[in-house]
Amino acid sequence: MKIIPAIDIIEGKCVRLTQGDYSRKTIYNEDPLELALQFEAIGIERLHLVDLDGAKSGSVVNYKVLEKISSKTKLEIDFGGGIKSNEAIKVVFDSGAAIATIGSVAVKNKELFFSWIDKYGADKIFLGADVKDEKIVISGWVEKTDVAIFDFINENFSQGVKTIFCTDISKDGLLQGSGIDLYKKIIEKFPNLNLIASGGIASIKELDELKLIGCSGAIIGKAIYEGRITMNDLKKQMLC
């Protein structure tokens, strides 16, 4: 199972939100590159970089952080937050992202999203499904929709998307465990989907549980920054 550390960015700094609430923000590091280098040093190959300013404003903001990390490391970076136009996705790829992370556009502008799959290929697009009560939530978790997660996956899977990361935002940032029950339902309905768990992961033991139910990867953020999962833990996990 692929281990993918997350670095969330506000005003160029590494932060974490609690349940997607911008008013409940904790700054963990002034320099995201410092963290990225630490991850690379223990053998991490993939980084999930999130522009929270971009997600909130609707346009990419922190692309300079992406440029810095991509030029100073060999990490495969997926970058998301505010990618809502052809110009924005071009900026993201030009700034060094290997993969563009897309969320809201896949709900609000399906034609544009599917055009990106056609142009760049499904392997260059990392589709995110932020979920509350099994319904999709978009625009930096501030806008609820009536789109059921299972309908969302089915439609995009039929368009060639094979990898989706799913965040149960009721769990995110609480360090009380991930949405494992939801993941079980998704994997049961879509056994050929590569499902990446995200949000709420609090321990190394939980990574084993996610692997056991069939998740192909896990995005980990706050547990690392709060010391629940150490760099040494991650290094050992990758050797399993």
Q: Which residues are known catalytic residues?
A: 8, 130
32/34 Cα distance (integer angstroms): 5
User: What is the total residue count of the chain?
Assistant: 240
Dihedral sign for Cα 102, 108, 111, 112, please. negative
Helix (H, G, I), strand (E, B) or coil at 94: helix
- CB atoms inside a 10 Å sphere around CB 210: 21
205/207 Cα distance (integer angstroms): 5
| Closest to 44 measured CA to CA, from 228, 171, 213, 224 | 224
| Closest to 222 measured CA to CA, from 192, 205, 238, 198 | 198
110/59 Cα distance (integer angstroms): 18
The conformation of residue 98, written as its DSSP 8-state character, comes to: S
Q: In 73-226, which ranges are continuous DSSP H helix?
A: 86-94, 105-108, 110-120, 149-158, 180-189, 204-213, 222-225
How big is the CA angle at 219 (ends 213 and 223), to the nearest 5 degrees? 105
